[in-house]
Structure 1
Amino acid sequence: MEGLVDWVAEALAPMAVTSRAMMGGRTLYADGVVFAILADDQLWLKADTMSDGAWDAAGCARFTYSFGDGKTGSMNYRRAPEDCYDDVDELRRWAVLALEAGRRAPAKRPRARKPKT
């Protein structure tokens, strides 16, 4: 997975790409904005209602996961097109779309801490 992080960081220079561990994967940031996740050895790029049409047209599946009770959830990330893994220009094109979605996303509120008992 680190090789994929390095590839993305190199391809998107001069943007500062950083990553942080997340539930068995990694969250990727470009200039401090979340734009992608790595899960199951695949790159998933941020999407939203404004960019869904482009992702749908490219046939990029939505990120889904399973809960312990058998239910399925999804997040606003789309599987990167296969060309992104060996074509820097394609990776940049899709990453910019994902970064724009990340910038449009509402800011996360800090989680309320449970009072100490």
Structure 2
Amino acid sequence: MNDSGFVSHCLELLSPLGRTSSRRMFGGHALYIDDLCMALIIQDTLYLKTDDASRPLFERAGCRPFTYAGKRDEVHVMSYYTAPEEAMESPAEMTPWARRALGAAVAARAKAPKKKAAAAKAPASKVAAKKVVARKAPARKAVASKPAAKKTAKP
């Protein structure tokens, strides 16, 4: 299945939960339900958002976490796990897993610092204005100037 075909398939699987959309991100796609990011597609693999409550269910189902290598060869594990293979077959099979992912995304948004959440709601121009740091102009050195020579009118 090609890249856009797989994205469309995943959006269809998630559609019973609300309005679905996708955006390209980090060489893959982020999937949204009603503008809330709750899944990723990386290399034709669907990863669903997890939290402390849902993670054990994903692990028992044999799902794997999304990991990536950092700059110094350290492995970073994110809070996204593969969807169970059987859930990839139909929206009905995906719905309980997608509900868990959506719940984890809602919980993560609720835990987000208020400052970050306020910046996300503010128009881009206001956010940019907050990031501008006012700086004083450097003080200029006083330069002694010679008095201007008086011109005298010649008769």
Per the TM superposition, whether the score is higher than 0.5 is yes
Match of 1:70 among 63, 68, 73: 73
1:103–1:24 CA distance, 2 compared to 1 (3 A): same
* Higher strand proportion: 1
TM-score by length of 1: 0.86
Deviation digits for residues 65-106 of structure 1 (CA, Å, limit 9, x no counterpart): 012321110110001111122232221221111011111103
| 1:107 matched residue in structure 2 | 112
Match of 2:8 among 6, 9, 12: 6
* Higher helix proportion: 2
Deviation at 1:35, TM superposition (A): 0.8
CA contact (8 A) 1:9 1:16 kept: no
Letter in 1 for 2:23: R
1:116–1:24 CA distance, 2 compared to 1 (3 A): farther
Letter in 2 for 1:75: M
Provide the rounded CA distance (Å) in 2 between the counterparts of 1:67 and 1:114: 30
Secondary structure at 1:12 match in 2: helix
Matched residue pairs, number?
A: 117
Say if 2:59 is the partner of 1:56: yes
Could you say which structure has the larger radius of gyration?
2
Two-structure CA RMSD over aligned residues (Å): 2.2
TM-score by length of 2: 0.66
1:71–1:4 CA distance, 2 compared to 1 (3 A): same
Task: Give unpaired runs (5+ residues) of structure 1.
Answer: none
Task: Give unpaired runs (5+ residues) of structure 2.
Answer: 121-129, 136-155
